[in-house]
Chain A
């Protein structure tokens, strides 16, 4: 917690100007990542977690725009103030990214060795020979058997897990200070996911890299993260150390997510649900953005947009329950009936 912050994002707003209105995909997000730390960013599709990641490297494209007033401080410079050449020097060099779909993130017409070496040639102006050697070295490091031969292969000749290892090699070749991993294991099978998570943890320990792990999977978060941001509706709704988040979640959304997950070895008769679905980013509800899916919501939630309340040390939550905790206990006792019924989106039936 007391590590010096490597990255400080403050009041990040990324809006998309679409025909259907302004989509406020990321709407006032602030957080820090410490040196050597793994920050988990968790949320469902449409919560803004991926746009947050892309915004850090300014990879958001038309019709998206990072709004003025946003700040992303990294190694004593505001990434949003850099010119094109400046941000390119950061991308892939000081901050690297690992994507979800290892097939589309690799160019099908170049060998994987070429693609890894390319990064070194661009950023370190390494010679062709030196860059290639470094690429093979990286493939060895990420645990690819017969790396010298593999380097000469094309992406389609590798399995999904191998391709993800190649992407990791590519991300780490410049020894970046921060790696942003956007759902790096979602497209992989569990046994391969286990390999990749293990590899990431191992590499982090050896290289001291900071990792921002973006995922929808709370299981992955629990395994790798030390601190967690929960996002909903383009905002951070809860932030806590990982142990705290899983044992004492404060925000009803976090609570709902934890209960909605079936868990191996803990068979329940019925899963708790969060009714409804995520509203479109062009029309977040007024007040609390989660209120129409929330079991606790009361009139104040519609009136007043909740700030991030301090719950404990390093634990904040965007919920008025922090102000009126008695409402939670009242609700909990009233909820003995199996009221968490087959929730109906749109409130029909």
Chain B
């Protein structure tokens, strides 16, 4: 549990939980890192690395939905794929139901895949255009020898019905379906092997609003009926708020804030989260138009800023030289609410340490969103 709080170079964190569900977590990762080498020249000399995922630790309890939000290039998709070892992580640990996932040989890994599945963003490229819907859904059954022959046909029909498609569609090809329907096919494929964990990688981003709601509701129904655990990756904060129990915010490969969905949306602590939330257009013309507009673009993950990776764009009034030096630990700011910012009290980085790093401004509480009403929390 404490691992979830421990950030790179941080002292052991206080033994408080960041809203972790009770009991043994289903998924626990610590210090997960993925560097993509940048090769240059004729012989592919390594000229640096893109730090796509940079020391991420988190835990996901059984039956919960952990949302991961962030903008493009923040590493959320890479994180999801590293957890499933679809991309081999550079370092760090992954434990799934107590199993050390990274230690598994290829055959054991293939067997474990039955228990952890993925749903993709793009409903067009994620289905093999040369296979019928039935064959696509059936593949997992065949691979894991869960069913064959008429029994498998029956299972496929049941699965299609479960995701809201007509069983007759089994003999059709993916190109005959709309985006929302194709997304349902992808969900049926994942469900076929009866997984416990599903990594949902932007599953509704490519869909229209009305269809998006259908798929979100379907995912929620399935979670309730089957006791699924979701890792829900998205850039759309409103979707994540709707579906997630806890939310973690990523920026440049790191988790910068992690708390229950209610806390993150009611009182975001990390200035990046604040800006991200305030940037979401509110479908209410009467809403106040105050927002924190960040300057500049996200820096390249091949060359992240020193210290706090957010410091070049950070609007926190107490930002100073220390922010460019000290890597902020992911530390508890309120019960069950962790964030990485040395200028938001309380912080485990003492003032004298900050001064040594050139600090000129005392940490001070900065919650600009409290002024902007985002509706009343339940």
Indicate if B285 sits at the interface (CB-CB under 8 A): yes
Indicate if B72 sits at the interface (CB-CB under 8 A): yes
Task: Tell me which residues across on chain B come within 8 A of A222, comparing CB atoms.
Answer: 281-285, 287
Task: Tell me which residues across on chain A come within 8 A of B306, comparing CB atoms.
Answer: none
Contact of A216 among B208, B261, B276 (CB under 8 A): B208
Which chain A residues in 262-277 approach chain B with CB under 8 Å?
A: 262-268, 270-275, 277
Q: How large is the interface on A (under 10, 10 to 19, 20 to 34, 35 or more residues)?
A: 35 or more
Contact mask B204-245 → A, CB, 8 Å, 1/0?
000011111110111011000000000000010111011000
Indicate if A246 sits at the interface (CB-CB under 8 A): yes
On whether the beta carbons of B213 and A273 are closer than 8 Å, the reply is yes
On whether the beta carbons of B289 and A189 are closer than 8 Å, the reply is no
Can you name 5 A-B pairs with beta carbons within 8 Å? A243-B286, A261-B209, A263-B375, A277-B178, A349-B161
Indicate if B336 sits at the interface (CB-CB under 8 A): no
Q: B-side interface residues toward A, CB under 8 Å? A: 71-72, 161, 164-167, 178, 180-181, 208-214, 216-218, 220-221, 235, 237-239, 241-242, 261-262, 265-266, 275-287, 289, 291, 293-294, 297-298, 373-378
Please give the distance in Å from B182's CB to the nearest CB on chain A: 11
A257 to B72, CA, bound (A): 26
Task: Tell me which residues across on chain B come within 8 A of A345, comparing CB atoms.
Answer: 164-165, 178, 180-181, 214
On whether the beta carbons of B213 and A274 are closer than 8 Å, the reply is yes
On whether the beta carbons of B210 and A219 are closer than 8 Å, the reply is no
Given contacts A190-B276, A267-B261, contact A277 B297 (CB under 8 A): no
Please give the distance in Å from B325's CB to the nearest CB on chain A: 25
| Chain A, residue nearest B281 (CB) | A219
A298 to B321, CA, bound (A): 67
On whether the beta carbons of B213 and A219 are closer than 8 Å, the reply is no
A220 to B208, CA, bound (A): 15
Indicate if A256 sits at the interface (CB-CB under 8 A): yes
A162 to B378, CA, bound (A): 39
Please give the distance in Å from B240's CB to the nearest CB on chain A: 9
Task: Tell me which residues across on chain B come within 8 A of A195, comparing CB atoms.
Answer: 293-294
On whether the beta carbons of B220 and A191 are closer than 8 Å, the reply is no
Given contacts A44-B208, A44-B210, A190-B276, contact A267 B283 (CB under 8 A): no
Task: Tell me which residues across on chain A come within 8 A of B238, comparing CB atoms.
Answer: 261-264
A61 to B88, CA, bound (A): 46
Please give the distance in Å from A63's CB to the nearest CB on chain B: 20
Please give the distance in Å from A292's CB to the nearest CB on chain B: 13
On whether the beta carbons of A193 and B283 are closer than 8 Å, the reply is no
On whether the beta carbons of A348 and B284 are closer than 8 Å, the reply is no
Please give the distance in Å from B371's CB to the nearest CB on chain A: 13
A104 to B295, CA, bound (A): 25
A268 to B375, CA, bound (A): 12
Indicate if A116 sits at the interface (CB-CB under 8 A): no
